[in-house]
Amino acid sequence: MLNRINNQFIKSNVFIFHGTAGYPEENWFPWTKEKLQEKGCEVTVPQFPTPEGQSLQAWLDVFEPYSNTVDENTIIIGHSLGGVFLLKLLERFQKPIKLAILVATPIGIKPISVYNDIVDFAGFEFDWDKIKTNAKDFIVYQSDNDPYVSLGNGEKLAKHLGVDLTFIPNVGHFNAKAGYLQFEDLFKKLEKYL
């Protein structure tokens, strides 16, 4: 949607980050992208190297060409490892974005099925003060039967960010395998920020 500021229309700029072994056309990403584009948003879903070549630096390199488009109207959604990457970006940003949404994001609370892969990617040390400074608001999603990321991750993440956890029972990893080709709750929350 276009926000009117000083008689100029400012579009929300949205990024969606996939996780390990992910890609832009999976899960609820295409549906969400289409819904946001219908509202006038610019939406980018980058393809990050994974699982081959998966590293924080490789993902930063992919994001670099987009970095100059990040501003106070930017919304970033991270799913799984994409959420870890989002947190690492927030540590690096120089100005706050409008909203960060973290879906099934592992932050080090075991069990995590790919714990060592995430340690190799970026570790589990986060600068929470810097992260909170660089997003005006946060939404955190987690389920209780996620086979990859335990509920404790979402609970602890929400606590670190000072927000309530959006808990949706029995939806696994919020992916296609769990039947998540649309994400109605996320879109409804997003609309308030457009």
What are the boundaries of each domain within the chain? Answer: 2-191
Q: What global pTM score does this model have?
A: 0.94
What is the mean predicted confidence (pLDDT) over 110-137?
94
State the distance between the two ends of the chain, measured CA to CA, in whole angstroms.
5
pLDDT tens-place string over residues 51-101: 999 999 999 999 999 999 999 999 999 999 999 999 999 999 999 999 999
What pLDDT is recorded for position 6? 44
> Beta 138-142 vs 2-5: how paired, if at all?
unpaired
pLDDT at 49 over 90: yes
| CATH class of the domain at 2-191 | alpha beta
**How many residues would you count in the chain?**
194
DSSP 3-state of 141: strand
DSSP 3-state of 77: strand
Side-chain-side CA neighbours of residue 1 (13 Å): 9
Alpha helices in 24-176 (DSSP H): 29-38, 56-63, 81-92, 115-121, 128-133, 151-161
What pLDDT is recorded for position 146? 98
How far apart CA 30 and CA 188 sit, in angstroms, is 16
How far apart CA 18 and CA 47 sit, in angstroms, is 8
